[in-house]
Amino acid sequence: MKNNDFNGNYDCNSDCNCILEQSPSKIILFGEHAVVDGYPAISMAIDLKTHGTIKKLESKKIKVNLEDLNEEIEINIETEEEIRNFLSLDINTIDKNVKYVVCAIKNTLNYLNENTNPDVNINDLIVPFELTLHSETPVSCGLGSSASAVLTTIKLVSKLLGSELLVRLLPSEDFTSLSNLEMAEIAYSVEKEIQGRASITDTYTVSMGGILEITNNEYDPNNLNNKFVEFIKTCNFLIVYVEERSRKTAELVQEVGNNSKKDEIFSKIGEIILKLKTCNDKVEFGNLMVQNHNLLKELNISTEKIDQVIELGSKYGLGAKLTGAGGGGCAIILLDDDSLHKKELIDNLKKISVKGIFECKMYLES
């Protein structure tokens, strides 16, 4: 890629003629897993991004190149039958990592097909293309890499097809691109189709940006009061990629769903979030993080190494917890304002050979 302008501009440079897009990833501050059963969660979009490009192809194919996974796939869309077969594909018959992106393409095409003037033939709506993704986020470690890859795919496909439709078919009609809410819903449909059980948390967080509360699997921008959001903005989190996960989110969510103690644990997590929403003290916030972590431990989704990081985060910072689906992956640590403590923390994290340390910022949708 020659051009670093990732703002979704058409014609990124003269020889590639492609569209560029990007999406953030996320951390869950409180409430992962419980949120799948309707309890509240608080999440934040972060500025580790998935970048992508899309360009039209002459051959009647959809090509997907996933640089981080080292996977490529080609889908034939030569005949109407091939297109219709793809649109009704059972995604869980694909057992490759490419399936999130393939499902995002399928569900975006279905959405556009259902919401375009019925006079437009499906062969004219769906143009061949090549899509490439690359992420700054480590894959499958609790930072919402799936949601970020899926949303970038939806942005790219809808933008390419929208602009083609405008040029070739509906020159007199204004094409309005998909709203953030529409894209969040399509992205959620993908996570749900693949995970089986899923909440809207990751997909809505990467689509809306900022800090969100999800309750009853719904997003209401008025749920969080400004004072609380402003307080969280003063908190600095360190993200630690502790170790590779042995299981994907889909498996971890199923496993937790079968845990007989889950309701008792989830309601305690709900109580922590109630306290949190009136909190404006970082020490208390850090303690609440550790309480949430201990409940995630009871769900058997922490590991020895994550627990070691939580101890370091409590000793040299104000508190810590795992983030995302767990089973390995990432932890977040709330830093105090003393830069010496931060240095000691990072030195100690390096001593136990964690895989990565990120100082990320909150991402706001522009």
Interacting residue ranges for Mg ion, rule: CB under 5 A: 146, 249
Distance of CA 262 to the CA centre of its chain: 24
Give min distance, CB of 220 to Mg ion, in A: 23
28 binding ligand MEV? (CB under 6 A):
yes
Angle between helices 201-208 and 145-168 (to 10 degrees): 60
DSSP conformation class of 5: -
SS3 365: coil
Is residue 137 a contact point for ligand MEV (CB under 6 A)?
A: no
Q: To the nearest whole angstrom, how small is the minimum distance from the Cβ of residue 124 to ligand ATP?
A: 29
Q: Of these partners, ligand MEV, Mg ion, ligand ATP, none, which one is at the site of residue 35 (CB under 5 to 8 Å by kind)?
A: ligand MEV
Which residue, 144 or 209, is less far from ligand ATP as judged by CB?
144
* C-alpha–C-alpha distance, residues 286 and 288, integer Å: 5
**Cα 81–chain centre separation:** 33
| Residue with nearest beta carbon to Mg ion | 146
Is 64 marked as a binding-site residue?
no
Selection from ligand ATP, ligand MEV, Mg ion, none that 247 binds (CB < 5 to 8 A by kind) is: none
Selected range binding ligand ATP among 133-141, 167-175, 268-276, 298-306, rule: CB under 6 A: 133-141
Whether residue 320 is annotated as binding a ligand: the answer is no
Site for ligand ATP in 22-51 (CB under 6 A): 50
CA distances from 146 to 16, 52, 170, 195 (A): 26, 14, 34, 11
Q: At which residue do the structure tokens 């393939």 appear?
A: 102
Residue 338: φ, ψ to 5°: -95, 115
295: contact with ligand ATP by CB under 6 A: no
Nearer to ligand ATP, 30 or 100 (CB): 100
145 is in an annotated binding site: yes
- When the beta carbons of 54 and 310 are compared against ligand MEV, the nearer one is 310
What's the token pair of residue 109?
A: 């095409």
Report if residue 143 touches ligand ATP, rule: CB under 6 A. Answer: yes
Contact 147, 45 (CB under 8 A): no
Of residues 45, 66, 77, 156, which one binds ligand ATP by CB under 6 A?
66
Residues near ligand ATP (CB under 6 A) are 50, 66, 68-69, 97, 99-101, 133, 135, 139-146, 149, 202, 248-249, 324-325
